[in-house]
Amino acid sequence: MSIRLLSVAAGAVLAACAHTVSLDGTAQPTAAPAPHASGPQSSGTQSSDSQSSGSDSSGSQASGSGTTPTTQTTRTDPCAGTIAALSPRARLAQLVMVGVDPRSADEALGIVRNEQAGGIFIGGDDVGLLSGGALEPVRAAATVPLSVAIDDEGGRVQRLEALDGNLPSARAMARAMSPDQVREVARQRGEAMRARGVTTDLAPVVDTSGGADRTVIGDRSFSPDPKVAADYATAFAQGLHDAGVTPVIKHFPGHGNTTGDSHLGAVRSPGLDELRGHDLVPYQNIARYGEAVVMLGHIDVPGLTGGQPASLSPAAYSLLRGEYAFDGPAMTDDLGAMRAVTDRFDLPDAVVGALAAGADIALWSSGGRVTEVLDRLERAVSSGELPAARADQALRRVLAAKDVC
């Protein structure tokens, strides 16, 4: 779905064949690679956030010899060459998705050229950056293929209507169309995205809501019935896949029945046991959505997050990785423009907290502050506030999702 990295410094590749490169730039001999993030096409078994390494070995008892010959096979780390070619700061930059001015390429080009941000987010109603090939120099400036995201759900949350026509809301689609028809609509929309340089759509919403259209989720939900919501969200995700666009499933662990709006302040969901029977049902058999990203909302879940937003809660990421067996990239909801977070945390601290908790991609639509955030991340790795192993794990998931390694 994404363009593979075409070249890596030759010396780095040779050196990487026998070493794993850590986030701080040191090289460690290795006999086996760290686990490769395979995305949500999992076997259904629980996955773990821990990294392991070892060597493949086999042995057989030699007849009559009394000895056991052992043969060791050395495997190379498929990501090591790419990681070695990046500075420690550029590795951290792969973990951020930054909002950019939608009117032109100037801001986006500066962010990618100067800091090698891993992703940009194009919001708002202006379509200058999505027109006339404006994204081409931005993508060309990226050392690692750039993720270009929009949130084109349909209804009141869409970005391409001025260019490619109106997309109905999720609720309207579910009322008027079959899942197969929704898949075709999403495919056509996804093809329009790809033609304009977009690689990622922050959709579909899998939240279950029967609320009024203009409430925080409301008509953004396909249905209050979790099975219906999952069926239609699956169709939408498959349509995006058909067009080569990565879907982002949101908002884990469920925003459809919360009190309040996380754009405006803190919100609370029903307790975890209640969520398991309803709001979390669309996350069961998560492989149905194909290779995807999961977005965590800024939702306080009684019995899970201990008063923290799920996007900054280690327990929420553990639930996603363990009980729901998701091993693809996890993304935060907006850390820079939603008061459920901004009322409590400054942006650089929120980014560090989210990545340390288990996020792989930290999103802020408000833009700017990239240098400040990366400075803060470097200090957090140096101090251990953001463990190097956690950052390395996130980087590998991001690179795997980009088909880099």
Q: Which residues are catalytic?
A: 263, 333
Question: What six digits make up the tokens of 214?
Answer: 């203009």
What distance separates the 2 farthest-apart alpha carbons in the chain?
80
CA distance 233 to 223: 10
CA distance 347 to 349: 5
Site of tokens 């609720």:
171
Q: DSSP secondary-structure letter at 131?
A: S
Q: DSSP secondary-structure letter at 34?
A: P
Question: What six digits make up the tokens of 21?
Answer: 């490169």
Read out DSSP for 215-237? Answer: SSSGGGSS-SSHHHHHHHHHHHH
Residues 6+ apart with CB under 8 A from 195: none
Angle at 238 between CA 233 and CA 242, to 5 degrees: 150
CA distance 330 to 249: 10
Distances in Å between the Cα of 51 and the Cα atoms of 39, 40, 119, 240 are: 16, 17, 25, 31
* Helix residue ranges per DSSP H, 196-321: 226-242, 272-277, 314-321
CB atoms within 10 A of CB 271: 12
Residue 201: which H helix or E strand, with range? strand 200-201
CA distance 240 to 246: 7
CA distance 293 to 202: 9
CA distance 311 to 333: 7
